[in-house]
Amino acid sequence: MVKEFSLGIGLAIVIFLAVQGINLFPFVFLGGIGYYFFKTIGKEELGNKFLITGGNDDQSNVPQVDFADIGGQETAKNELLEALEFVKSKEEIKKLGIRPLKGLLLSGPPGTGKTLMAKAAANYIESVFISTSGSEFIEMYAGVGAKRVRKIFKEARDKAKKAEKNNAIIFIDEIDILGGKRGQNGSHMEYDQTLNQLLVELDGISVDDQVNILVIGATNRIDILDNALLRPGRFDRIVKVDLPDKEGREHILEIHTKNKPLVADVSLEQLAKETFRFSGAQLENLTNEAAIMAMREEAEEIEMKHFKEAIDKVMMGEKLNRRPNEEELKRVAYHETGHALLGEVVNPNSVSNITITSRGKALGYVRHNPEDDFYLQTVDYLKDQIAVLIAGSLVEEEILGNRSTGAANDFKKAMELAKKIVFSGMSKLGVVSKDTVPQKLLYDTMSEIIAEQEERVTAEILPNQEFIAEVVEDLLVQESISGEEFRARLKTEQEVVA
Question: In whole angstroms, what is the distance from residue 99 CA to residue 72 CA?
Answer: 31
| SS3 state at 206 | coil
| Angle made by CA atoms 392, 366, 383, in degrees to the nearest 5 | 55
Strand-pair partners of 362: 359
What's the N-to-C CA distance of the chain in angstroms?
88
For 61, what's the count of Cα atoms within 13 Å in the CB-facing half-sphere?
6
Question: In whole angstroms, what is the distance from residue 278 CA to residue 351 CA?
Answer: 17
Q: Kindly report the backbone phi and psi dihedral angles of residue 314, in degrees, each rounded to the nearest multiple of 5, phi listed first.
A: -65, -40
336 classed as catalytic: yes
Give yes or no for a contact between 87 and 101, defined as CB atoms under 8 angstroms apart: yes
Residue among 136, 274, 336, 344 flagged as catalytic: 336
The residue type of 203 is D
Strand 351-355 with 480-482, pairing? antiparallel
The residue type of 56 is N
Question: In whole angstroms, what is the distance from residue 305 CA to residue 269 CA?
Answer: 15
Q: Is 197 exposed, middle or buried (0-12, 13-18, 19+ CB in 10 A)?
A: buried
Q: How many CB atoms lie within 10 A of CB 278?
A: 24
In this structure, the chain runs to a length of 498
Catalytic residues: 336
